[in-house]
Amino acid sequence: MTLYLNLAELLGTRIEQGLYRPGDRLPSVRSLSQEHGVSLSTVQQAYRHLEDMGLASPRPKSGYFVPLGRQMPALPQISRAAQRPVEVSQWDHVLELISSSPQHDMLQLGRGRPDISGPTLKPLLRNLSRQARRQDPDVLTYGGIRGDIRLREQIARLMLDSGCQLEAEDLVVTTGCHEALSAAVRAICQPGDIVAVDSPSFHGVMQALKGFGMKALELPTDPLTGINLDALEMALEQWPIKAIQLTPNCNNPLGYIMPDANKRALVALAQRFDVAIIEDDVYAELAYSYPRPRSIKSFDEDGRVLFCSSFSKTLAPGLRVGWIAPGRYLEQVVHMKYLGTGSTAQLPQLALAEFLKDGHYEPHLRRMRAQYLRSRDLMVDWVSRYFPAGTRVSRPQGSFMLWVEMPQGFDSQKLNRALLPHKIQIAPGSIFSAAGKYRNCIRLNYAEPPSTTIEAAVKQIGATIAELIEEADLQHTQDLGQWR
């Protein structure tokens, strides 16, 4: 990310968290230049970006101030601790979301898809075409069960940025991150076992637990820092938990980045109770700040962390190429992969290895981080403007997902059905819970470049929410009248 966007994100986060309140004077251009070791023009660019986002207001000869009318929506509430492990439900609603094929007249704001229209993906498309034209028999073979060595070498190099020092032999290429997560769960757990998860949590993992006959224990999760470690410790003391599964960096759907101190403490807890950690890192390279956040795996000293990731969110989901660094569970994971898909397709692996080797990945990430940061700020502004008063909104620190919370009693599944005539789809919050909680929440995707079409869709969602709330209030009033 360019320096001015990095600085703007830092200042914006401080404003959103209340360190600078409405009316406060922001640090001077010169002091920020000295503090961060950047040029005066870089700081001025950062302030212009904050001004565009409505986070800073210039005053002649006085500097920049937080606008007096600036009011960020409240954060989503911290989820409550689950009383016991539960069997996972909500498959029908997940199937409804993932079964919807791309339609030109349907604006799909519910799917976890990145933007794939950017010019920085052209070298990858050329690599795919070139690999096919070469008529190399390697493209048509099964390939090794652990993946092409050239790609694994490049992935090992990438993982240095997450704080991990791994060799190609430590990695297994998978058919997307979903297979990596599924193989990790099956390598550790048996039917009936309990897996502790952050809450809300990725619906794919929830449904994997359901399919494998396992139970989920949902942990209270802070929208800025992640799972509550005290609650986790109590759960580990009370229940025979076999694994902890979470997305600590650029979480899906809340968008938080777990502090390093919490990651270190989490690993210590896992060591103390001798449980595995399954880390979903698929969004981490889309963090708005640089360098990217450290992984939990980087604090792992005894191989109990299974690190899972893919190129589905950073490049394109259609590649279906992911990987896992399973630590001490390497043999079990390879066996589970063999039972699942066998080897992963060779063509995208070879094209990706070339794309990474030629240095195209980092420029693409820089472009997408900047785009997603701008889209996030606009999406938060639109939701604040068009949704009913009292709506709570997450503060994503990376990726392209926004978690929106309406008043208790609101039905986001009903909202999804009401939006179909308007050719808009959202993700109802209940699919991100094992027990179907968060029915009053939705997840919105802001990956696409901002446009008047998307703004109009957000406005329509807000209007529909208001109509449904009004209908529910009227029905409640009528029901009370009947009882009187």
Side-chain half-sphere exposure of 122, counting CA atoms within 13 A: 3
pLDDT surpassing 60 at residue 484: no
CA distance 13 to 19: 9
Distance CA 371, CA 234 (A): 41
**Cα(246)–Cα(252) distance, integer angstroms:** 9
pLDDT at 21 over 60: yes
Distance (Å, rounded) from C-alpha 135 to C-alpha 155?
25
Report the alpha-carbon angle 380-4-33, nearest 5: 125
Mean pLDDT of 137-155: 91
Return the CATH class of domain 1-64. Answer: mainly alpha
pLDDT at 147: 96
Cis peptide before 291 (omega within 30 of 0): yes
Average pLDDT, the chain: 91
pLDDT per position as a tens digit, 370-426: 899 889 988 998 999 999 989 999 999 999 999 999 999 999 999 999 999 999 999
Instruction: Give the pLDDT confidence of 269-323 residue by residue, as tens digits.
Output: 999 999 999 999 999 999 988 889 999 999 999 999 999 999 999 999 999 999 9
Residue with tokens 């360019």: 2
With H, G, I as helix, E, B as strand and everything else as coil, classify residue 43: helix
d(CA 338, CA 343): 7
State yes or no: pLDDT of 476 exceeds 70. Answer: no
Specify which residues 222 forms β-bridges with: 226
Which residue type, as a one-letter code, is found at position 136? D
What is the residue type of 181?
L
- 104-118 burial string, b = 16+ CB within 10 Å, else e? eeebbbbbbbbbeee
Highest mean pLDDT (candidates 22-36, 44-58, 92-106):
22-36
Report domain extents, the chain.
1-64, 84-90+120-358, 360-480
pLDDT over 60 at 217, yes or no: yes
Question: What percentage of the chain reaches a pLDDT higher than 90?
Answer: 71
- 353 pLDDT band, cuts 50/70/90, is very high
Residue-level pLDDT at 276: 98
369: closest CA among 342, 343, 398? Answer: 398
Closest CA to 96 of 428, 332, 375: 428
Residue 137 has pLDDT above 80, yes or no: no
Tokens in use for 221?
A: 């999760």
Alpha helices, DSSP H only, in 189-259? 203-211, 229-238
Helix (H) or strand (E) holding 325: strand 322-325
| Beta pairing class for 401-405 and 392-393 | antiparallel
Q: Are strands 241-246 and 194-198 parallel, antiparallel or unpaired?
A: parallel
What is the C-alpha end-to-end distance of the chain, expressed in Å?
62
For 81-131, give the secondary structure using H, E and C: CCCCCEECCCHHHHHHHHCCCCCCCCEECCCCCCCCCCHHHHHHHHHHHHH
Residue 54: pLDDT band by 50, 70, 90 thresholds? Answer: confident
84-90+120-358: what fold?
Aspartate Aminotransferase; domain 2 (3.40.640)
Torsion of CA 143, 144, 146, 151, to 10 degrees: -50
pLDDT band at 100 (very low <50, low <70, confident <90, very high): low
How sure is the predictor about 82, in pLDDT bands with cuts at 50, 70 and 90?
confident
CA gap 372, 400 in Å, rounded: 6
Q: Would you mind telling me the total number of residues written for the chain in this entry?
A: 484
Mean pLDDT check: name the lowest of 135-144, 185-194, 293-302, 471-480: 471-480
Domain covering 360-480 in this structure, CATH number: 3.90.1150.10
